[in-house]
Amino acid sequence: MSTQPRNIDIEERHVEKKSDSSLVASTFIKYAAYIVIIFGVLYFLVNYVFPMF
């Protein structure tokens, strides 16, 4: 039994998670604006439209 040095090529992968903070911030602002608009419409309905019935 001879012990030969084994030549094994190991592939290294370096995965970098890229997060664009400006994209994240603009998405947050967009959805925050949606939520504010929805609550504004609900507030209007509850205070002005529903009392008419």
Render pLDDT for 1-48 as a digit per residue (tens, 0 to 9): 566 777 777 788 888 777 788 899 999 999 999 999 999 999 999 999
Residue 6 lies in a domain: no
In a domain, 42, yes or no: yes
Domain containing residue 36: 23-52
Domain assignment present for residue 43? The answer is yes
Distance CA 11, CA 16 (A): 16
9 in a domain, yes or no? no
Does a structural domain hold residue 2?
no
Residue 15 forms part of a structural domain: no
Q: What is the pLDDT of residue 1?
A: 57
Residue 7 lies in a domain: no
Longest dimension (CA), the chain: 96
Structural domains in the chain (count): 1
Distance set, CA 7 to CA 4, 10 (Å): 9, 10
Residue 47 domain flag: yes
